[in-house]
Amino acid sequence: MKAETFLPEDYTPADNEPFMNERQTEYFRRKLLNWKAELVEDTRDTVAGMKDQTRNIPDVADRASEETDRSLELRTRDRQRKLVAKIDAALRRIDEGEYGYCEITGEAISLKRLDARPIATMSLEAQERHERREKVHRDD
């Protein structure tokens, strides 16, 4: 088992240190784990809230409004479930030593991009090319 890497509370990855060194890797691992924990907690709260809110509402308009709210909440949770899967994939890439590198070009993804979107799998340039190609094909 690998020893835990010391990481100061105020640590932020910097461009002047080796890319994806132990501290950067640990920083992103913790960021991903914290994000995942928040999403899982939100899901638990939603499930508990939906169990508590199950009731028979006689007014049709009120019932429709509540069903719409539930539908929206479930859609949000479904998006978060997909996000958790992407977070898990990013954590696997960290374990495999592939995190932080573009899956298309193999180049390093900028630290600013990873900090803003820790589940990113493509560099900004590769992502933009991908989106342009997607838009062109979608317009057909």
18-99 topology per CATH: Four Helix Bundle (Hemerythrin (Met), subunit A) (1.20.120)
Domain ranges of the chain: 18-99, 101-139
How high is the pLDDT of residue 139?
58
Average pLDDT for 50-78? 78
**Over 50: is that where the pLDDT of 1 sits?**
no
Average pLDDT for 12-20? 95
pTM for this prediction:
0.81
**Over 50: is that where the pLDDT of 134 sits?**
yes
**Over 80: is that where the pLDDT of 105 sits?**
yes
How high is the pLDDT of residue 53?
64
Q: Please, which pLDDT band fits residue 8 given cuts at 50, 70 and 90? A: confident
**Over 90: is that where the pLDDT of 50 sits?**
no
Three-state SS for the chain is CCCCCCCCCCCCCCCCCCCCCHHHHHHHHHHHHHHHHHHHHHHHHHHHHHHHHCCCCCCHHHHHHHHHHHHHHHHHHHHHHHHHHHHHHHHHHHHHCCCCECCCCCCECCHHHHHHCCCCCCCHHHHHHHHHHHHHHHHC
